[in-house]
Structures are given as C-alpha cells and as structure tokens.
Amino acid sequence: MNPAIRSGTFVLACAVVAAVVFAGARAAGNDYVFFAGYTVLQFIVLATAWNILGGYTGYVNFGTAAFFALGAYATVFFHKFYPMPVPVLAIIGAVVSGLVGLGMGYLTLRLHGAFFAIATLALAVVLQTLVVNWNYVGGARGAYVIRPADVPGLALPYIQYLFLIMLALAVIAIATARIIERSKLGYGFAAIRDDEMAAEASGVPTLRLKLIATTLSGALMGMAGAPFPYYIGYLQPSSAFALEYAVNSIAMPMIGGTTSWVGPLVGALLLGTVQQVTTVTISSAVNLLIVGLLLVGFVIIAPNGLIGLWQRLFRKR
C-alpha cells in the first residue's frame, strides 16, 4: 500500500474521532467538560511533541515549559500589539518556539546528549528571567488577556471554541508524529536513537535530522501554548513556566511508551484524566507527587511503558 494514502486515511480517522469527541463533549452539556478536556488535550499535544524528539531520537528535552511559555507569551505580545484570531496565533507560537528549538539544537546537539538536556533545563530559567524583566508582556506581575466576547463566524461559547482549537492541534500533533514514524525521517530518527555513531557512519545526516526533530517538537509545544492566555485569562510567568509541563510531558510518553505515537496519547489520556480527578478531589501538590512517583516507577519497572507491557502480555514471540 502507498504510505501517503495510509497517512491520508489516518488523518481522516483522527478527524472523525475528534468530531465524535467534540459532539460527545457538547452532549454532556457542561462547561466543566470543556475546561478539563482542554487541559487533557493540551497534554496530548505536549506529550506527542516531546516524544518526537525524546522518544524517536532519544534526546531528552526538559524545557517543555519554556517552549510552551514562548507560545503563550507570543500570544500575549500580539494580543497587545495587534489582536489576531487564535489559529493564526497558534502558527506564530509554533514559528517562535520552533526557531528557538532550532537555535538551541544548533548550539548543543553536536555534543554529548546530556548537554542538550541540561541546556533545555536552563533555557526555562533564562526565558523566565527575560519575561519577568520584560514589562511589555506584564513582567513579574503577569498580564490580563481578555477574551473576545464572541467567536467570529462561529456560534460557539468561547471555551468550546478553545476546546475545538486544541482538539485540532492534537490531531495535527498526532498526525505529524505518525507520518514521521512511517517515513524515511522516522527511520533516520530511530537509527540515531539506537546507535548514533553507527547511523553517522552509514551516512545518516544525524545533525540535520536532530535539528528537524528539535524544531518540529518545539514548534508543536509553542503551538499548544498559544491559546493558553485566552484559556487562563491571566498569565503569570510562574504559571506559564510551571515545571509541571516539563514533568508531565516526560512522564506521559514514558508511561505510555516512547517508540510510537500511541504511547504519548495513551499516557496523556490516562495521566491527564487522573490529574484532573486528583486535583479536584485531593490537591494539586499531591497530584504532582503522583506524576513524579509514576514516572520513576515506570522508568525502573516498565522501561517500555504500557505499550511495552501490553506487547509482552499479548504478543507471542
């Protein structure tokens, strides 16, 4: 079968699932479903984006929060500078974060993988410092972003509109991940993950592939951050740069399984839902503790995540 056709079918299937999800959420007839659902969908995008670099090529990015916040602050900037529709802002967020990812990758990816990880961790601290010192986007105080009263051209409450956008972004992220996985690019990534020296020696352009992965991954994270100021209404540096984005976007693929697009999706759905429940019923600090414990537990006990466990149980070797 032609892979292009299969990818087409896949995207179509994703769109159908997304439409069913949206119809289902509307049928529930409760705004809370959209608020909670938005967060889960956002984690699907972040986890899938993280996995394109982390899972496929084996380079760990601790700076999810930085890329996410870049997207969010690009929105704050343009909200004050020249208001634009949210989908356009998502594209801008993607471009900004993608470029930063490219720059970071260019400086650090030629070295030992650990340096890249450390640099991404530090990137979050520095970008937060820049934002805190930048008054135009609110500085340390934070910035109010007032939602427009209605959605141009659509008869939808604003939260449903944001939910719909995040749903579309999730479809884009998952489709991107799956297309990469089945393409020459994906095989190149897997070769880097398994043995970078061997890949380099057999003519895989490792640096270029790693840069592509970093840029794509960063762009998707920025895209996920762009609608966030409208969702939360009041954006503070500490909420945009929260460490929970970094830990969740690593924990979700690790728990689901890092080698395919299914892993981050399963991980994000599972962990995202559990977190919504524990945040409401217990407390948000306890919920973060659970994520941390699950992450450590899974990397020790089930290194290939739930998908790996599933395969071990049901696939005869």
> In the complex, which residues of this chain contact another protein (CB under 8 A)?
54, 58, 60, 62, 107-108, 111, 113-115, 117-119, 121-123, 125-126, 128-130, 132-133, 140, 243, 246-247, 250-251, 254, 258, 285-286, 288-289, 291-293, 295-296, 299-300, 303
Nearer CB in complex with another protein: 55/227: 55
Instruction: Tell me if residue 29 falls in helix, strand or coil.
Output: coil
Nearer CB in complex with another protein: 66/145: 66
Nearer CB in complex with another protein: 12/125: 125
Gap between the terminal Cα atoms of the chain: 26
Minimum CB–partner distance for residue 42 and another protein (Å): 19
CA distance 143 to 233: 8
Minimum CB–partner distance for residue 165 and another protein (Å): 29
Nearer CB in complex with another protein: 37/305: 305
Rg of the chain, C-alpha, whole Å: 19
Minimum CB–partner distance for residue 215 and another protein (Å): 18
The DSSP H or E segment spanning 284 is helix 284-301
Minimum CB–partner distance for residue 134 and another protein (Å): 11
Nearer CB in complex with another protein: 122/185: 122
Minimum CB–partner distance for residue 87 and another protein (Å): 32
Instruction: Tell me if residue 33 falls in helix, strand or coil.
Output: helix
CA distances 165 to 80, 89, 169, 172, 254, Å, are 21, 11, 6, 10, 26
Report helix angle 206-225 to 64-81, nearest 10: 50
Indicate left, alpha or beta for 235 from its phi (over 0: left) and psi (-120 to 50: alpha): beta
CA distance 180 to 111: 24
Nearer CB in complex with another protein: 254/262: 254
Minimum CB–partner distance for residue 292 and another protein (Å): 4
Nearer CB in complex with another protein: 14/244: 244
Q: Which two tokens stand for residue 131?
A: 């934002």
DSSP code string of 147-206: PPSS-TT----HHHHHHHHHHHHHHHHHHHHHHHHTSHHHHHHHHHHH-HHHHHHTT--H
Minimum CB–partner distance for residue 123 and another protein (Å): 7
CA distance 306 to 291: 15
Q: Report whether 101 contacts 284 (CB < 8 A).
A: no
Nearer CB in complex with another protein: 42/61: 61
Minimum CB–partner distance for residue 111 and another protein (Å): 5
302: DSSP letter: -
